[in-house]
Amino acid sequence: MEVPVPARSPHLLIGYKRAAQHLLSKAGMRVLKLQRSASAAAKDPQRSSPLAQLAALVLQRRRRRLPLESAALAPKPRNCRRVVVLGAPRAGKTSLVRRFLREDFEERYEPTREDFHRKLYQIRGEAYQIDILDPAAEREFPAKRRLTILTGDIFLLVLSVDDRDSFEEALALRSEISQAKTALLRCSAEGARVPVVVCANKTDLPASERAVSRAELLRAFGGKDSACTLFETSAKDGGAGLERAFEALAARAGLPVETGPSRHRRLSLRSYRKLWGGGAAGRKSEAHDTPCGALHPLARRPSVSADLRLVLATQGKKRTSKTGKK
CB 84 within 8 A of CB 156: yes
Neighbours of 221 (CB within 10 A): 23
pLDDT at 192: 60
- DSSP β-bridge partners for residue 265: 292
pLDDT at 136: 82
Please state the φ and ψ torsions of residue 127, each to the nearest 5 degrees.
-90, 140
Distance separating alpha carbons of residues 326 and 322, to the nearest angstrom: 6
| Amino acid residing at 25 | S
pLDDT at 217: 93
CB 139 within 8 A of CB 300: no
pLDDT at 198: 96
Which residues does 95 contact at the CB level (< 8 Å), separation at least 6? 105, 106, 201, 235, 236
Beta-strand (E) ranges in 88-125? Answer: 115-123
Distance separating alpha carbons of residues 203 and 92, to the nearest angstrom: 11
pLDDT at 63: 46
- DSSP β-bridge partners for residue 154: 83
Mapped onto helix, strand or coil, the DSSP state of residue 246 is: helix
pLDDT at 228: 83
Distance separating alpha carbons of residues 196 and 284, to the nearest angstrom: 36
Residue ranges of alpha helices (H) inside 44-92 are 50-64
Distance separating alpha carbons of residues 183 and 189, to the nearest angstrom: 9
Question: Could you tell me the domains of the chain?
Answer: 13-64 (no CATH), 77-299 (3.40.50.300)
For β-strands 196-201 and 126-134, DSSP reports them as unpaired
Which residues does 99 contact at the CB level (< 8 Å), separation at least 6? 105, 235, 238, 242, 261
Q: Which helix (H) or strand (E) holds 128?
A: strand 126-134
DSSP class of residue 238 equals: B
Distance separating alpha carbons of residues 217 and 196, to the nearest angstrom: 14
Side-chain-side CA neighbours of residue 269 (13 Å): 10
CB 220 within 8 A of CB 169: no
Which residues does 94 contact at the CB level (< 8 Å), separation at least 6? 106, 112, 115, 134
- DSSP β-bridge partners for residue 228: 196
Q: Burial, 123: exposed, middle or buried (Cβ in 10 Å; 0-12, 13-18, 19+)? A: buried
- In the predicted model, residues of the chain with pLDDT beneath 50 are 1-6, 8, 23-24, 26-29, 31-32, 34, 54, 58, 61-68, 280-282, 326
DSSP class of residue 212 equals: S
pLDDT tens sequence across 115-158: 899 999 999 989 999 999 998 878 888 888 899 999 999 999 99
Sign of CA dihedral 40, 45, 50, 56: positive
